[in-house]
Structure 1
Amino acid sequence: MRIAGGAETQSAARRALLTALLLRRGQFVGMGELTELLWDDPPSSAVANIRSHLTGLRRGLDSAQPGLSKRLTTSRGAETGYALSVDANELDLSCFLKLARQGKELLAAGDHRAAAGRLDEALALWRGPFGQRLPSTRWFHAHTVGLSNTRFEACQDFFTACLLTHRTEMLSYRIETVLAEAPYRQRLWQLLAATYCTQGDVAGALGVIERCRTVFADELGLDVPPGVEAIRAAALTWDTERAHRLVAEMARQ
């Protein structure tokens, strides 16, 4: 994690605390919750350790940019809490969420080209999966799942917009990359099969659908999702327009 392009936060605990404070952007996080995010089974010295890490974090903030630690404030009420003041446009996550929301709205409104541009800009803010080099606590697991799902949704919207604007160069590769992370997302399978179908590659589309059947039947005990089966029918009749219509319908949902 880098602050304003400055030195990387090296300490795992400080990195975790900084991440949590950024996720809550400006909201106070109590000592109890700070303990939960660092340890599922906290040590007796948890509070003292957290205070020490926060002192180190303040030094790290000032090292990155003199005076930056003033943004880290302390609340001493019924429970001691800490907050980090950050404007929305200073935080990649806030910018991503705004752009992804705008892209989804444009996609639903039928402005596919503008949606693709907005979503491409949103996804460019990611440097990799969320949760790397963070504690494997229940607190971070919940946030990792939530943010990962949000990124997957934005990827699906972007792939949909690309397909509907005929921007299919390398699209199957990009879908495969995300599918490797989220193999049970039905919409990704439908988009991948539709990409091959609209390119006139019937064998490729049917191969994707067979892979999907294997994943859902063998691993989940489920049938091929209806949306994917619909692409099979389009591929078998060489009906690329039908495949486009199916993807467009999915975009409006």
Structure 2
Amino acid sequence: MTTAGTTLVIGATGTTGSRTATQLAAAGHRVKAASRRAGQVAGAEPVPFDWHAPATHAAALDGVDSVYLIPPVGDSDPAAVMLPFLQQARSAGVRRAVLLSSSAIPAGGPAVGTVHQALPGLFPEWAVLRPSWFMQNFTGSHAHGRSIRDEGSIWTATEGGRVAFVDAEDIAAVAVRALTDEQAPNTDLVLTGPEALSHDDIALIITEVTGRPVTHRRLSCEQMRDRLSAEVPVEFAALLADLDRAIAAGAEDRVTDTVHRLTGRPPRSFRTLLEEEVGSSS
């Protein structure tokens, strides 16, 4: 049995938001797809939304009883804008909130960790999704995807550290369950793919599947911070570089059964995702 209300999906044009909105609508749920551009999602109502424009918040929340939360991109202190919105959401009648965080950030940790810590006190029904790093970082418009296409290189400070990269479709499938199941998880959920891989492994798989040589280029943490600061604020670049340092130390070398347990199917592997993407484009 599932809930039958309206879900507001924030970041509905993004990597997991678009997939979550699409899967919800395809399953017959009422969805408001919120983004700065109010992008179209089949079967969903588009609504304009900007974290930094409070005038857009009330209309987005109208008639909503659950919300999928994507933090503002590149913000090292998202709680400053998210917590006032969440208090407004509670007052507007939202009962369930599902927050996208990261496997690398615990409750009370930096950035979105502050929001994670506050969520149980704001809503009677909640979940925090803590996925590992996205497989789509290597295939989409993320910095890794661009450097693979432009240079045949992946630049990190992760050394030989391993990550159980996860497919965004699997994250969205878990989000749908967390938003619509009769019983909310009321916990945080660490989501991973089926195997932990180093960036050397990722480069090898891309080379084997696409036939184009790709190399993992190793940087120091400071070099990675400087490289990232060309694209994002320096505080956020430093946070991301520190996450690479944690990967190098083994912090992300783990595999969980969460995707299989909540969706009833195993998570997709990186090789399978890449083979499907290459096959669909050929």
- State the TM-score, normalized to the length of structure 1: 0.30
Bigger relative CO (Cα 8 Å, ≥ 6 apart): 2
Q: TM-score, normalised by structure 2?
A: 0.28
Larger radius of gyration: 1
